[in-house]
Amino acid sequence: MSRTTGAEPLLKLRDLNGWYGESHVLHGVSLDLMEGETITLIGRNGAGKTSTLRAIMNLLPRREGEIRIAGKDMSKVPVHRTAHAGIGYVPEERGIFASLSVAENLMLPPRVAAGGMSVEEIYSLFPNLAERRNSPGTKLSGGEQQMLAIARILRTGVKIILLDEPTEGLAPVIIQRIGDVLIELKKKGMTLLLVEQNFRFARKVADRFYLMEDGHILESFPTSELHAKMDRLHDVVGV
């Protein structure tokens, strides 16, 4: 879905600042994520992409600035209430419980809103998780863990999913599968904020890109301009 001028963003950041102790790492991040849209944050290591996701989730030790979901102020919402506000987070480390089975991991997060997918819908989107429903987390491949980390959030009924480098360390065939799943989720109306260094993957799912450097946004552009921007991206992102 493309951006509609004048509509209220589903997720809106204005002048977001963030700190780890004395270290000031986010310097006024502003972005808009429209309902049904997918945006990708790109930038070199240390640019502040993960910290932006963590700030949205209230996982930074200190943050300031405006964070709104569907117009609602998130600045006082603690991390355990973020799902109720409509947002879920798939961190880079995935957070799968090793001693629990696929099915148990899937059932862990509570359903917080109507409209979440049923377990059967989730298994039809991820047939390999259905096959492995009784396997413990320890027995899953990296790709299966990534799929489970995404699948687990789909039950909750959140409207926005933040995904930190979902393709990192995975084989091309698995990356393709994850891309197909994200496109399927977009068709269902899900709103996605991705951090991703893999342009080839990101261009398939993203509607727009935000380029980050030193804790702030340099520019935003639609995916149709990605090709023309490649030289600049090589300079800024270093890939």
Ligand X SMILES: Nc1ncnc2c1ncn2[C@@H]1O[C@H](COP(=O)(O)OP(=O)(O)OP(=O)(O)O)[C@@H](O)[C@H]1O
Q: By CB under 6 A, tell whether 169 contacts ligand X.
A: no
User: Cα–chain-centroid distance for residue 103?
Assistant: 22
Q: By CB under 6 A, tell whether 40 contacts ligand X.
A: no
Q: By CB under 6 A, tell whether 132 contacts ligand X.
A: no
Span from 43-51, 131-139, 186-194, 203-211 in contact with ligand X (CB under 6 A):
43-51
Cα(49)–Cα(46) distance, integer angstroms: 8
Q: By CB under 6 A, tell whether 42 contacts ligand X.
A: no
Q: By CB under 6 A, tell whether 86 contacts ligand X.
A: no
Give least dist CB 233 to ligand X, A: 14
Cα(173)–Cα(112) distance, integer angstroms: 33
Pairing mode of beta strands 160-164, 87-90? parallel
* C-beta separation of 53 from 47 below 8 A: no
The residue to which tokens 């979901």 are assigned? 69
The amino acid sitting at 71 is G
Q: By CB under 6 A, tell whether 25 contacts ligand X.
A: yes
Task: Name which position in 51, 82, 145, 146 contacts ligand X (CB under 6 A).
Answer: 51
Q: By CB under 6 A, tell whether 238 contacts ligand X.
A: no
Give least dist CB 187 to ligand X, A: 28
Site string for ligand X, 4-23 (x = CB under 6 A): ----------------x--x
Task: Name which position in 36, 43, 86, 166 contacts ligand X (CB under 6 A).
Answer: 43
Q: Name which of 125 and 163 has its Cβ closer to ligand X.
A: 163
Give least dist CB 50 to ligand X, A: 3
H or E stretch including 222?
strand 216-222
Dihedral sign computed on CA atoms, order 67, 73, 74, 76: positive
Total residues contacting ligand X by CB under 6 A comes to 11
106 CB-near residues (< 8 Å, 6+ apart): 119, 122, 129, 148, 151, 152, 155
Q: By CB under 6 A, tell whether 49 contacts ligand X.
A: yes
Cα(161)–Cα(100) distance, integer angstroms: 23
Give least dist CB 162 to ligand X, A: 12
Cα(221)–Cα(34) distance, integer angstroms: 14
Q: By CB under 6 A, tell whether 56 contacts ligand X.
A: no
Region at 8 (left for phi over 0; alpha for psi -120 to 50; beta for the rest):
beta
Q: By CB under 6 A, tell whether 48 contacts ligand X.
A: yes
Binding residues for ligand X (CB under 6 A): 20, 23, 25, 43, 45-51
